Amino acid sequence: MASEITYAEVKFKNESPAPVVKGLPKKKKPEQHPQKYPLWLPWLISLLLLLVCIALVVVLLVVPFSQSSDQPSALQQQFSEWECHSAVPQGTERGWTCCPKGWRRFQGSCYFLSLDRMNCAESAQNCTGMGSQLVVINSKAEQEFLSKQKTQSVRRDNVYIGLFEEKVGQWQWADKTPYNVTAAFWRKEEPSPGHENCTVMHVPEGNLYNWNNVKPDTMHHRICEAAAVIV
């Protein structure tokens, strides 16, 4: 008799569970922070700093030789030798009043007394070419100063000043300063009528009232004026 084979399912309580294979941990992607400023901003800041540096250099180099009006800039281009006088206590950084060598200084202006003679238009052009203009007299003190300007080498009887008759009876200064008849210094019986529309100072007169109007083609000396340079 053949034996029967019986199969039984046996479970072991201590059997270890089948290992579970887990995948490798994923690497964390670096967090991306949003850009706080545009890429061109550092370049803009650098450019602004450069411009500030250039401006500082210009101020340090140019301002010390500044001017009190528009004219000295042209005057400075014409002359390389200057004579300066201190107008403030010693030790102050600024306060030197400068005029071209050979010019005469009074208050805030420089004056050139010519050695040669020219007609009225040529005299005005010559002063302009030196960065100045025919003198404009604004005060009694200035008139007194100019009336005393004489040299031993050259006798100046008449010198052109910057006063012109644009229309009959209408006088005008070279710099467009309003003409004030109460502050004029005409000789007696002057200005005379006619085509004498330029003005000279008659030096031998010996007093303040020494202006005389003359024809524009007459040859006389001249006085040029420019604002002094302050350094």
pLDDT in tens, the chain (231 residues): 444 544 444 444 445 555 554 555 555 555 555 556 677 777 888 888 888 878 775 554 444 444 444 444 588 888 989 999 886 655 555 678 999 999 999 999 999 999 999 999 999 999 999 999 999 999 999 999 999 887 656 788 899 999 999 988 899 999 999 999 988 999 999 999 888 999 999 988 888 999 999 999 999 999 999 999 988
User: Domain boundaries in the chain?
Assistant: 65-230
Distance CA 190, CA 185 (A): 9
Distance CA 30, CA 71 (A): 68
Predicted confidence at residue 7, as pLDDT, reads 42
Distance CA 142, CA 225 (A): 11
Architecture of domain 65-230 in this structure: Roll (3.10)
